[in-house]
Amino acid sequence: MKIEALGLEHFYGHEKVLNGVDIEILPGSFTAIIGESGSGKTTVLSILSTLLQPSLGSVRYDGKLLHELGNIDHFRQHNIGFVFQFHYLISYLTLRENIALAALDKTLIDPLMGSLGIERLGKRYSDEVSGGERQRAAIARALINHPSVVFADEPTGNLDTKNALGVYELFREFSHSGTGFVVASHDKKIADYADVIIEMEDGIVKQIHK
Amino acid sequence: MITPIKALRKNRFKTALIFISMSVSIAAIFLISAISGGVVSMYSAMLKTDGDIIVTQKGIADTFFSDINRSLSVSIEKMEGVKEASALILGAAPVDPLPIVGIYGASENRYKSYALKQGTYPKSGEVMLGSKIYETLKKPTKIALSKKTFVVSGVFKSRIGFEDGGVVMNLTDAGELFHKSASIFLISLDDLGKSDAIVAEINSLSSEIEAKTTESFIDSYNQFKIIKTSSDVIGAMAFLMGILGIVSMMSMVVNDRKGEFGIMRSIGLSSGTIIVKLLSETLIIAILAYTVALGASLGILEMIEHADKFQGYINGEITAALMIKVFIVSVTMALFGTLLPAVYASRIDPMSLIQRGGA
């Protein structure tokens, strides 16, 4: 799915956090949005992922505006995956049940868990596995319906370097199979894995590296 | 169904609080309905014994205040279609050490409705006691009523708590005690089909009396209406308290589980799915609370029925109809109490997962 954002501006109260952002996300690309705290990267990610309406500007998904996409729940379920800084796994469900909660086709759960290296943890609860394994389960939940694009907000914020690099590796691997990734991060190591790097500063796009 | 049970087990403390709140409310509804229903049912059963038609003083609000001329029963008994007319005086007086006891003056033709366990039916200066009060008073041979002593001639057993905990004497003695001729007549008929005609004929005997079929009397009896209305009001209060308890607890539950509902929204689960999920959780609690409240209410009613303190006068009954009614009330309480918090949960913006930390 191609995503085009044009002239994005956004205010939190009277504070302007985006000041005219134009971004294009190509299908199946691994795009990193990097920048310091307050640069506006999370706001851009929230707008692109349909979670937030921009104060000004527009976002098109394969040429369609948000209100032209029909039921937003249905659109998200079929086209978008989310990975957050905190895994947000439901603590009373096993890792497999957490993934199953999102799954439209339950037969895909085990193969996906296998490809993420967490197949033997299916019956464990989130407090019984490591931080890296939790985030892999959260990634599996985001990928289970073969979304066109996965949005990740600081997905490695709570991980050590080894696990963080493992996550980037996974994103790159899955992007090769057609799923796009848009990742907001302040971790510059992501640059070694992403196809496109959008550098933000003070609410504008400072530079785009391809 | 596995997921709601897991969610309830995970949030044990709050689940327990909701469960307790609902159980107490449901038990309160059960008890007040059962006790008021029992009172009405007992008094109705007493009136229905050998009574197809009931005659009282005209315009009287309570049969205890009714005063009619007992000689009219002779004329009534001679009417075509009337099998038997018995007279009753209904009163209450202290019997040491009990502060209040039901006293029934009965014409002799009514004695047969009291199943004697021992002794004989009362003659002048005698009383027979219901088995409950006989035990409560430690099997007395005499009792004092209004400074007059009566010999206990016999003991009867009645399934009607008011009678089993009461004192029966002959009509003349009761008349002297309460300074009245009779409170009510109970008329039994040969043919119930003629009841309306006989009611009209009795009413024509005197402008001071009022005859009604017993069914019609029970339906319109003011005291029953007061009891039922009071019970409905208290039941409604318990229902509202139950709803408020659920709303406040479920609001806390939803707040604690914001991350969970936010992630559900982000993965595309519909608002309806989240609402149904929360409703099914409280429905499970409601069914458990209903079961426990029913058991507890049956136990409490059994204790009340056998407690000497209540002399058998409080005799609640939980009928199948009441069980169904309270079940519906319990489910409604759970659904109403959960609806607002559930709607709130279903509208949690997944943005909150980005803006706030922690699951």
Give residue-wise pLDDT tens across range B73-89. 889 989 999 999 999 99
Q: How far apart are CA B71 and CA B140, in angstroms?
A: 34
The CATH number of A3-209, from 2.40.50.1020, 3.90.1150.10, 3.40.50.300, 3.40.1390.30, is: 3.40.50.300
**Interface contacts (A, B; CB < 8 Å):** 68
Query: Which is it for strands A64-65 and A56-61: parallel, antiparallel or unpaired?
Result: antiparallel
Closest listed residue to residue B310, CA positions, set B42, B33, B28: B42
Residue B359 has pLDDT above 80, yes or no: no
Q: Mind telling me how many Å the CA of A154 is from chain B's nearest CA?
A: 9
Continuous segment of H or E residues that includes residue B353: helix B351-355
Residue B256 has pLDDT above 70, yes or no: yes
Q: Using CA of residue B163, residue B168, residue B170, residue B174, what is the dihedral sign?
A: negative
ipTM over 0.85: no
Condensed to tens digits (0 to 9), the pLDDT of residues A75-118 reads 888 899 988 888 889 989 999 999 998 888 899 999 889 988 89
Report residue B222 as tokens.
Answer: 């003011």
Residue A157 has pLDDT above 60, yes or no: yes
For residues B69 and B358, the model is more confident at: B69
| A42 near B CB under 8 A | yes
Residues of A whose CB is below 8 A from B351: 46, 51-52
Query: DSSP letters of B214-261?
Result: HHHHHHH-HHHHHHHHHHHHHHHHHHHHHHHHHHHHHHHHHHHTHHHH
Residue B1 has pLDDT above 70, yes or no: no
- CB within 8 Å: A51 and B259: no
Which chain A residue lies closest to B349 (C-alpha atoms)?
A51
Instruction: Give residue B76's pLDDT.
Output: 92
Residues of B whose CB is below 8 A from A12: none
Q: How far apart are CA B330 and CA B23, in angstroms?
A: 9
Residues of A whose CB is below 8 A from B354: 42, 45-46, 51, 84, 153
B327 contact partners, CB below 8 Å, separation of at least 6: B290
Residues of B whose CB is below 8 A from A45: 354
